[in-house]
Structure 1
């Protein structure tokens, strides 16, 4: 199947998931995770009508951006080392993995004056030691501290659920949604926090049912390898 065919299938599944909670399918954005596929396959995704491209690695992501950057909206979705921030600013529109003040400080240093990077604060809702992200109990305090970095706009929260049966991840997505609502109630000017980045190829339908606005799809959309 082509990327276009996969995208159509995913859109149909998003629509069915949205019906369960009377959501508008257009409120769910598909981020094509292209870290394992070629520039040509990424271009195929853009030609299929996918507007959001997600990369996990700086070197490969920047190389694809250099070739295709004007064609879409680019998301850096992997763990980002502070020393590599300089390579993504001005190229990537979103960062999905903000989880420490040292990274925020480097973003502030590197962003052009008057510009902002749209950031998701990464939360480790499962508590797994192998996953990055803030403890849920520390998230609001962390977001409060981010007010000192005007180059950062906290647009939402992100999590990576355990790799288990799709229905079993629901409590983790529910917890992130409730935490987002708690942040929204604070009415932070620097952190509107209206978005939820959660759900991947194996569990995105459950994520959509629980309020995801950005889902990160790799293998089910563009394949795992060319």
Structure 2
């Protein structure tokens, strides 16, 4: 299957999942996870209508952004080190992985230096797995308040990564929990906070995520094929 064929299949699956959940398919956006994939693969996806690409590594994103068309909408979706924020300032449209106030302050500082604001999602480690980043459900509201007070950041929603399950239905309680947390943040009425986005669901479970309210699904291997970790 080509990237073009995979793209059409994924779009159909997103539409079907949204309709089944009683949602408008236009409320779900596909984030093509392009880490470790060459610029040629991204160009191919771009040529068939994919515009949002998610990268996990700063160095890789910067290199690809120089090589590829300006109309690409880049999202940073991986764990972000504060000392690398400067390299992507003004380059990405959305950061999915704000999980601590020190990182938020550095994003605020770097975007402030170029006179722009950055849209961010706050990452929540709902499963409390030690190998995953994210604030806790209990500390989320306090972190959102702190991030929202920074002048060059705009909180647009939440992100999570559930544990891996062979059956995607196993992930649904984690997706549901993120949606419920989003409702609690929304109800708090914090200035400069808009719970517009829920970034959750990947190649193996994005339909379950859509059923629970995902607006951004992060799909890599189902679109591009298995990742080549050796090219990182």
Same fold flag (TM > 0.5): yes
The residue aligned with 1:35 is 35
**TM-score normalised by length of structure 2:** 0.94
Task: Give the equivalent residue in structure 2 for 1:117.
Answer: 118
Task: Note the C-alpha offset of 1:120.
Answer: 0.6
Deviations 1:43-76 (A, max 9, x none): 1111110110000001111111111251211000
> SS state of the match for residue 10, structure 1?
helix
Normalised TM-score (structure 1): 0.96
The answer to whether structure 1 residue 100 and structure 2 residue 85 are counterparts is no
- 1:157 corresponds in structure 2 to 158
- Check whether the contact 1:150–1:190 (CA below 8 A) recurs between aligned residues: no
SS in structure 1 of the partner of residue 119 of structure 2 = strand
Residues 1-226 of structure 1 mapped to structure 2, 5 A cutoff? 1-112=1-112, 114-164=115-165, 165-225=167-227
Q: 1:201 Cα shift?
A: 0.3
> 1-side partners of 2:97 and 2:152: how far apart?
15
Q: Distance in 1 between matches of 2:95 and 2:195?
A: 13
- Does the 8 A contact of 1:29 with 1:213 survive in 2? yes
**RMSD of aligned residue pairs (Cα, Å):** 1.2
Tell whether the 8 Å contact from 1:37 to 1:223 is kept in structure 2 after alignment: no
DSSP-derived class of the 2:217 partner:
strand
Measure, in 2, the Cα distance between the counterparts of 1:153 and 1:118. Answer: 5
> How far, CA to CA, are the matches of 2:107 and 2:227 in structure 1?
32
**Are the equivalent residues in 1 in contact too, given 2:90–2:116 (CA < 8 A)?**
no
Does the 8 Å contact 2:148/2:155 carry over to 1? no
Shift of the alpha carbon at 1:12? Answer: 1.0
Q: CA deviation at 1:145?
A: 1.2
- Give 1:41 deviation, angstroms: 0.4
Say if 1:184 and 1:194, in contact at 8 Å, map to a contact too: no
Gaps of 5+ in 2: none
> 1 CA distance for matches of 2:180 and 2:26?
22
**Contact 2:159-2:199 within 8 A present in 1 as well:** yes
The list of structure 1 runs, each at least 4 consecutive aligned residues, that deviate by more than 3 angstroms after superposition, is none
Equivalent pair of 1:69/1:91 in contact (CA under 8 Å): no
Give CA deviations for 1:195-219 in whole Å, capped at 9, x if unaligned.
1000000000000110000000000
